[in-house]
Structures are given as C-alpha cells and as structure tokens.
Structure 1
Amino acid sequence: MAKQTQIAIIGAGTFVKNQYIPRLSEISDLVSIKYIWSRSQESARSAVEAASKNFPEVECKWGDAGLDDIMKDASVIGVAVVLAGQIQVDMALRLLKAGKHVIQEKPAAANNEEAEMALSSYNLISPGSPSKPIWAIAENYRFEPGFIEGRKLVEEIGDMMSVQVIVEGSMNSSNPYFASSWRRSFTGGFILDMGVHMIAGLRMLVGCEMKSVSAFTTHIDTILPPPDNISSTYQLENGCSGIFVMSVSTRSPKIFWRVVGINGTVQVERGNIDGKHGYLVSKFDVDGKCTSSFHPFSGVTEELKSFLHSISEDSSNHKPDPRLSFIEGVRDVAVLEAMLESGSKQGVVVPVKTF
C-alpha cells in the first residue's frame, strides 16, 4: 500500500467543505489531511469537524501562529490554497518559499500584472534546482473526462471552421457562491471567476492559443457585480475564429462548446443524466450521423490525484502534469482580461497577452 501524502488546506470556506473534503475523502488511501487553517479559529474548527469523519487526525490551525506551524512542519509535503481570489497568490508564494508544493484554486491571478509579478517571484525560488516546489493551479475542467474525450474527437474532424462557446449561467441567490464577498469585489466579478473555467475548456478542446479578441460587455442584473454579460469574437493562432457568449445568471441555464470542422462537428454540453451531472460529448459526421457519450464530473478528484502523485515520495523528479501548471491558469486569465479590456473600450480588438 502506497504511503499517504500529508497535506494541509489553507482556507475553510464553502468550496473546501463542499468539494475538497469530500473529494479528498474519496482518495483517503493516497492522502492524509494533517491541518486545516483559516484566519479565525471558529471557521477552521467548522471545517475540521466536517473532515474528521474521514481524517480523524486532522488538526485545526488559525491565524499567523497556525500558519507558521504549518510552514515549519516538514511532514506536510503539499498545501491546497483555497482562499479569496485577491489573496491566493501572496499566500501561495509564502508557502512555496517555505518549501511546500502548492495547489492553488483558480483563478491563477487577479490579472496579468499580478501573474507576471508572481512568476518573477516564483522563478527566484531555488532557481535551477530539481527540487523546486511545484506550483499547480486547480482547474478541474482540464481533467474532466468529457473534455479529454472531446479533444480526441476534435482531432478527427479536420481543419477547424468555427468555434462557439455559449454560457448561460445560473448564478442566483440559490447558488452557495452568490453572496461571496470576494467575488463581488473582484475586478471582472463572476465573469472572470466563472469564465476561466469556460476558457480552460475552450483552450483544451481546440488545442491552441487565442491570438486576439473583440468584446462587448453589459451590466443588466444589478444584484450582480459588473459586468454580468459578455459577447466576444476571437481569433485562434491556427487562424480559426469563434464566439464566446456568457451571461452570468439566466432563467434557463445552458452551457456548451461546439467545434465545427471540415469533416464534422464536436459538441461538449453540460447536462444531467440519471441524476448524474457531467458532459454529453457528441460527434456529428459529414453524413449527419451522431454518436454521443456521457461523462460524469470527476475533474476535481482527478486533478487532486494528479497533484498528489507529482509530490509523493514515489515521484522521483516532482514533475507535475502540464495541465496543472501555473502558466496554464495564467493563460486562461489573460484571455478573460483581454475580453474585459475590449469590452471597456467598446469592442476594440485587443491582443491576448502571451505567457
């Protein structure tokens, strides 16, 4: 039996309780949560209580003293940083400098400027050393079986003719993240926070980068932070163009990615079959024949397993899956930042910053 990798979780909010603790519980043979940290003792204790059923040894840590304890504990190999978007990068860098491998929740950074500063700081940590700590970004869409299958099928449809991404979201008062204060004070609001997922899915499906964008943004639902709607065209580096349309909150949620090729079309659509949420992946051939397969969500579990494998004692060179890399997460942010900039300038074409 493989030795469990000991980790700490920095953050004790909704996503930790709803996703990290349940998903890590599914792979408790691989991992042991040694600590859960929060700024307040009350918040940390609440999360520890939720985790203790599957991780009875988990300890509660809070405040500066608790964070210092975690950084000094050599038995903690990796740390998951699950905090407000405005402070995640600073926290991740503190832990990386302390020698911890880090998996940080998306978005990778608040903007391109923060991303550049973060990369410069990270490159100064153990430069050239094979033992440089891993900085991973938790972008579960890159690990979803539906997108993995979709990427394979896109390879079969020949030269791309157009790409469409339609996101009609359901961010309303029934959503546990609706009242999130940090998302409401984040530049770009829910468009940036939710949109990096959608861009990650798009970039994975097409297998190339976005060159430039032109977008219009609006603020219609005033109970949401601006903007809450974006309509963008973009050009890929392979010459193909496409559209990206996102409404944060709608009455009839629908999300799909559609790649049209000269020899067929591939569509990945979010859905629910037999009570399971996931992606329906369809391929339409030139003769009109359609083949489909449904893939339940498992991306969060798969990304965590990949991170744990890359930092485990069994991993001799500590090389993460490229899908986890900080650079990948930064590229998602760069696309959204270009769209938001274009929207603020009434649709002017904006190049996507290269990382």
Structure 2
Amino acid sequence: MTHANDAGIAILGAGLYAKEAHIPALANIGTIALPVKAVYSRSEKSARELADEATRVLHLTPDVYHDADSSANLDVLLSRPDIVAVNIVLPIGLQPSFILKAFASGKHVFSAKPIAPDVAESVRLISVYNADYKPKGLVWRIAENFETEPGYLLAGRLIREGKIGKVTFFNLRAVNYMDQDSKWYKTPWRTIPDYQGGFLLDGGVHSTSALRVILPSRITKLSSFASLNKKYLPPQDTINVIAKAEDGSHGIFEMTFAAPAPSLSKGNGTVITGTDGWLSIEQGKAVDTNTGKEVSVLRITVKTITKVNGKPGPEKEEIIEVPVRGVEAEWEGFFAAILRNEDDGLSSPEGALEDVAFIQAALNSEGNLIDLQKLVRDARL
C-alpha cells in the first residue's frame, strides 16, 4: 500500500453507525475534516463495504485493513505515521482495549459512547489516559452526539440565562419500540449483549448526556427500578428513575425499549420546569427554508410567565426549531481539539463517565438511594 504524506484518520469498526452517521457527517463538514485514509474491521468483507461507502460519499479511497491478513491488520494500520487519529466504532465490550492500543501507538482517539461497559472500566481508562497519554498531548473525546446537539445546548443556555427562573423539577420520557426486525436489533453484539443493561446502556447514555447539558446542576442521587419485559431484550429493557440534582431540583427519567407498539413513543421528550415558566424539547420535522427539504429538528418550546402585582399573568410562548446535527458537531469539536488545541468543554471522558454511572445506578438501585459521586469515588479506590 502507498500512503500520502499528509495527515489523515482511520475508522476502526465498520458497522451501521460508521456507514450511516459518521461517513455522511464527515462529508457534511467538508474541509474541516481530515481525510479518511484507512478503515479497519475484523472481517475483510465489512471493511471493504465501509471503504466503498467512504469512496461513494467522500470521494476518496481509503486503504483496507482486517484481521485475516497479517500484512494489513490493525497493528500495521496503527504503525502508519500519517494516521494521526482514529475513530473507534466497535462493540461496547471491545472499545477499551482498542482505545488503549490506539493511545499506545500515539494516536488521538475519538471513541463511540458509552466510554466503557461500566463505571470501574471507565475509571480505569480515564486514569491510564490522564497518567500516560494526556501529558503527551494526545486527545481523547467521546463520540456522544446528544451532548453536542445544538438544540440541547441552546436549551441549556436558555435555562442558565434564567429564562424559566430557577429549575424546580424535570421529566425525561424515552419510550421506544424495539422490534426484532430492526436493523439495530439485528446487530449480533446487541442481540446477545455482554455488558450491563443491553439497549438501556447503549441508548440510555444518549438521554443522560442530553440531560447533563440541559440542566444547570449535575444529578447526584437517584433511586430506580429496572425490569425485563420482552425476553429478546436482555438483561433489562426498562428503567424508571427518580433523580435529584445538586441544586435541589429533582425529576423523573423514564426509559424503555419494550413499548408494545410504536404509537406509545408519542409524547417522548424532555420538560424542565422552573419558578417562572417551563421549557420542553421534542424531536420533530421541519422544512429547510434554503433547500425546501424536510429535516430533523429539535423543537424547543419556552413558556414564560409574566407577573402582575406579584401574581402569575399572561404566558409568553417562544418556539425555536434547531436542525439536528450532533454528529457533525462532535466531529467538528474533535478536529478543533487535535488540529488547533481548542477545547469546547464537550465530549469529555469525565462527562461520559457520569452517563455510565447514571445508567449503572439505575440498573442496580432496586429502589435504594444511590449516591452517584460515591459510586464513582469507590471505583477509584
């Protein structure tokens, strides 16, 4: 294989998300992105399929690496000096070893959420990174697109600016119907998960990260019940959580993948209530005024209450629709970090650890109150 001298990136993992989210996002951000110069998968077939998709969408021809050829395996890929960063999009259980292998090869890492299968492994990875690789200038960011979603970030800014007063309580509802015919269910490592929570961990950290950037104060305690309601979604498919934040606000976090029908997903979204109003966020569709095409948006509704002689007066309503582009935004943040040493404070391993801690606590609470900071602190001992 011949390599150009200019810097590029490699994608490790050739699953659905790499093809359907990361490749299009790289195309959308254009010249901000470093070129995809290599792809890797355990099988040659899947690696070539990803390379073909990159060629079709990005108009380049990445080199193909896979485990069946010792002259074109992962070690050979990671030895290339022109590959300065890797995007790791592999099954949850495999991520940690690949992250450390990439760091040992001197690469910046952009790894898929969740950071690791559990709190203990997340803490271990962060400890190794902080001790051995961060001092060398290597960047590690977690690809969690809900955290970088402009709509969620805007909602958080509005709340922090006092748009609805002091936050008093909140509610997040994520009711999902997961059919056995779904392309996401048919992914083998999701069908028989070797990690806690199954879809609740894989999908749950999306919602926890959104709540993390929306709320003005971090969640510190929770009590929860978890259950399995569809036998093909082990080990659990439903959690109902009561959570409390550092500022005294509290709320409900409801998540399931066991809805009996898709229609039950109607009403999903997040509502944050304050002393002077409330703000809701829901997914929707809107027409792009520039292209005339229908696009996905986060629809933010802000209701503020005017006071008349100290009593609630007329309500003011503002509706803001923000195009969904979290995957593009997380890539932009990663490239800014590795190319210009800019840090927007997002996609950090520490933030991703909070998300795993929330889900792990929710899965194991059995109605007991769990201190999330103590859960992390104990894992560090």
Which of 283, 288, 305 is residue 315 of structure 2 equivalent to?
288
AA partner of residue 115 (structure 1) = S
Cross-structure match for 1:258: 271
Cross-structure match for 1:340: 363
1:4 deviation in Å? 7.6
AA partner of residue 283 (structure 2) = R
Report matched runs for 1:103-142 at 5 Å. 103-126=110-133, 129=135, 131-142=136-147
Cross-structure match for 1:168: 175
- Mapped partners of 1:105, 1:268: distance in 2: 24
Q: Evaluate the alpha carbon distance shift between residue 334 and residue 4 of structure 1 in structure 2; reply closer, same or farther with a 3 A threshold.
A: farther
Q: How many residue pairs align between the two structures? A: 344
Which of 301, 309, 328 is residue 301 of structure 1 equivalent to?
328
Greater CA drift, 79-88 or 302-311: 302-311
Q: For the Cα contact (< 8 Å) 2:229–2:258, is it kept in 1? A: no
- Mapped partners of 2:350, 2:6: distance in 1: 28
SS at match of 1:202: helix
Q: For the Cα contact (< 8 Å) 1:220–1:229, is it kept in 2? A: yes
1:4-24 CA distances to partner (integer Å, 9 max, x unpaired)? 851000001111111111111
SS at match of 1:216: strand
Cross-structure match for 1:233: 242
The answer as to 2:280 corresponding to 1:267 is: yes
1:319 deviation in Å? 4.5
Larger radius of gyration: 2
1:245 deviation in Å? 0.7
- Mapped partners of 2:321, 2:285: distance in 1: 9
Q: Evaluate the alpha carbon distance shift between residue 263 and residue 4 of structure 1 in structure 2; reply closer, same or farther with a 3 A threshold.
A: farther
Q: For the Cα contact (< 8 Å) 2:177–2:258, is it kept in 1? A: yes
The answer as to 2:161 corresponding to 1:152 is: no
AA partner of residue 18 (structure 1) = E
Q: For the Cα contact (< 8 Å) 2:40–2:74, is it kept in 1? A: yes
1:288 deviation in Å? 2.3
Which of 26, 41, 45 is residue 42 of structure 1 equivalent to?
45
SS at match of 2:242: strand
The answer as to 2:31 corresponding to 1:29 is: yes
AA partner of residue 140 (structure 1) = N
1:56 deviation in Å? 2.1
Q: For the Cα contact (< 8 Å) 1:125–1:132, is it kept in 2? A: no
1:205 deviation in Å? 0.6
SS at match of 1:52: helix
Q: For the Cα contact (< 8 Å) 2:336–2:342, is it kept in 1? A: no
SS at match of 2:146: helix
- Mapped partners of 1:264, 1:296: distance in 2: 24
Flag structure 1 segments of 5+ consecutive residues without an equivalent.
none
* Normalised TM-score (structure 2): 0.86
Report matched runs for 1:218-229 at 5 Å. 218-229=227-238
1:336 deviation in Å? 0.7
* Normalised TM-score (structure 1): 0.92
SS at match of 1:43: helix
Cross-structure match for 2:76: 69
1:108-147 CA distances to partner (integer Å, 9 max, x unpaired)? 11101111211222123146x3x42111101111211111
1:248 deviation in Å? 1.2
Identity %: 28
1:42 deviation in Å? 1.1
- Mapped partners of 2:181, 2:28: distance in 1: 27
Cross-structure match for 2:311: none
Instruction: Note the aligned Cα RMSD (angstroms).
Output: 1.8
1:229 deviation in Å? 1.2
AA partner of residue 204 (structure 1) = V
1:290 deviation in Å? 1.6
- Mapped partners of 1:174, 1:297: distance in 2: 26
Flag structure 2 segments of 5+ consecutive residues without an equivalent.
288-293, 306-313
Cross-structure match for 1:213: 222
Cross-structure match for 2:295: 276
SS at match of 1:289: strand
Q: For the Cα contact (< 8 Å) 1:108–1:326, is it kept in 2? A: yes
1:208 deviation in Å? 2.1
The answer as to 2:356 corresponding to 1:350 is: no
Which of 61, 68, 74 is residue 57 of structure 1 equivalent to?
61
- Mapped partners of 1:152, 1:354: distance in 2: 27
